[in-house]
Amino acid sequence: MTRAREMHLNAFLMGVGHHEAAWRHPSTDERRILDVRHYQELAQIAERGRLDSIFFADNVAVGPRVKRNVTAVFEPVTLLSAIAVATEHIGLIATASTSYNEPFNLAREFASLDHLSRGRAGWNIVTSGTEDEARNFGHETIPEHARRYERAQEFLDVVTALWDSWDDDAVVLDPGAGVFADPTRVRAIDHVGERFRVRGPLNTPRGPQGRPLLVQAGSSEAGKDFAARHAEAIFTAQRSLADGQDFYSDLRERVRASGRAEGDVAILPGVVPYLASTEAEAVALEREFTDLISPDYALGQLSRMLGMDLSGQELDAPLPPLPEEAAIEGAKSRFTLVKRLAETERLTVRELIGRLGGGRGHRSFAGTPEQLADDLELWFTHGAADGFNIMPPHLPGGLQIFVDEVVPLLQRRGLFRTEYGAETLRGHYGLPPVHNTRAGSLSTAR
């Protein structure tokens, strides 16, 4: 009997909530932003709901936001290591940039997290697209978009080779013979490329999964091609069912064209849920958060998304003319989403920043748990999603209500697991461990 298809659910966690004013709302405790126990408790809530994974985004610059909001205060691999010891099953996904890391260090960090969590690590691969990040690493401006993805490709090649520099059975641990590892099963990679020269092998043995789950979130043309070749989960921002269906079918076609099976990739659109016992109460809750937005901060965020200075822009006027996507070297997909939203709905700047306040372009939903369950089922059964990236606007309450009231509805409908059926993150996503395909092909380590 063929098993019924089930959703994948990831909790995208950020401070005390995804809404940019969450830390100002009375439902949250702003002091917990710097408390590791807060994040451990969030992971435990997600695990109670049998979610596949939690995820932390990251950037490597403060940028213009520090007066009003800082969304990524902890380096995510370090934070997830602390969470690993407080959880048993939930997958642990961290963002790390291919533009501002070295392959050896990154490969070792994620292999270490995979060991510490007993096979629950995932890497969200980003290329980074802001000027502030570039200047923290000695660059006057961000590298050209296409060049960033070329670097990402070679970077990933090196990282996967390093993970494969240890055979699956290289660690012997024979105290009687005094053998820790078989040196014939640990090999240099001797990579010499355009951007990297790395001898190897990695000095951390192969992790329980073989390699962490690979995640990608870019929706530009280059990003979608990269995701189709490599990603095993894709986080995306789609604001309507039709847009979700178009993205889903496009990615599926690219996956097939790359020679991979469709089941190798899970597509998870983001949703920011404002939930209450009635729809009117949920709409009012969303308005409470919108009313707390600081216009100067929101304009800084919008300027960053659109690549132009809007600091003096009149709030009740429309946006000034925007450039074409081809002129943007930063986050192309987010630029396109925001431009389309502003132009098709003829929004004023004030209206636009209100729409973006909860999820920076991700879809917001205000309603009851039953209505959200209906909505997620519609997307899941009508070719728009394999699951969802849940982005609570306030934490911990927004995650608690989702886990306690929405997840049981999905379970009763047979759309989501009632118990974990696997021990690893790859297992949660229906993927086997990755066995070493390079065994015997590389020179033995000295």
| Residues 280-291: tens digit of each pLDDT | 999 999 989 888
Looking at every residue in the chain, the average pLDDT score rounds to 89
Q: What gap in Å lies between CA 264 and CA 15, rounded to an integer? A: 31
**pLDDT computed for residue 334 by the predictor:** 64
Least confident of 52-66, 365-379, 431-445: 431-445
Q: Has residue 330 got a pLDDT over 60?
A: no
Give the whole-angstrom CA distance, residue 287 versus residue 441. 60
List residues bridging with 12 in a β-sheet: 55
50: left (phi over 0), alpha (psi -120 to 50) or beta: left
d(CA 155, CA 146): 14
Would you say residue 318 has pLDDT above 90?
no
Residue 272 CA to residue 55 CA, distance in Å, equals 14
Compare 75 and 132 and report the one with higher pLDDT: 75
Mean predicted confidence (pLDDT) in 9-30:
93
| DSSP conformation class of 321 | P
- pLDDT in the model for residue 320: 72
1: pLDDT strictly greater than 50: no
Q: Tell me the pLDDT band of 439, cut-offs 50, 70 and 90.
A: low
Which is more confident, 401 or 354?
Answer: 401
Average pLDDT over residues 332-336: 66
Residue-level pLDDT at 128: 84
**Per-residue pLDDT tens over the stretch 240-296:** 999 999 999 999 999 999 999 988 999 999 999 999 999 999 999 998 988 888 777
3-state helix, strand, coil in the chain (%, to 5): 40, 15, 45
Contacts of 382 (CB under 8 A, 6+ apart): 241, 245
What average pLDDT does this structure show over 106-113? 98
Out of 171-180, 294-303, 361-370, which region has the weakest mean confidence (pLDDT)? Answer: 294-303
Token pair of 280, please? 């009117």
pLDDT level of residue 49 (50, 70, 90 thresholds): very high
Residue 323: predicted pLDDT = 63
pLDDT band at residue 46 under the 50/70/90 scheme: very high
Which H helix or E strand runs over 142? none
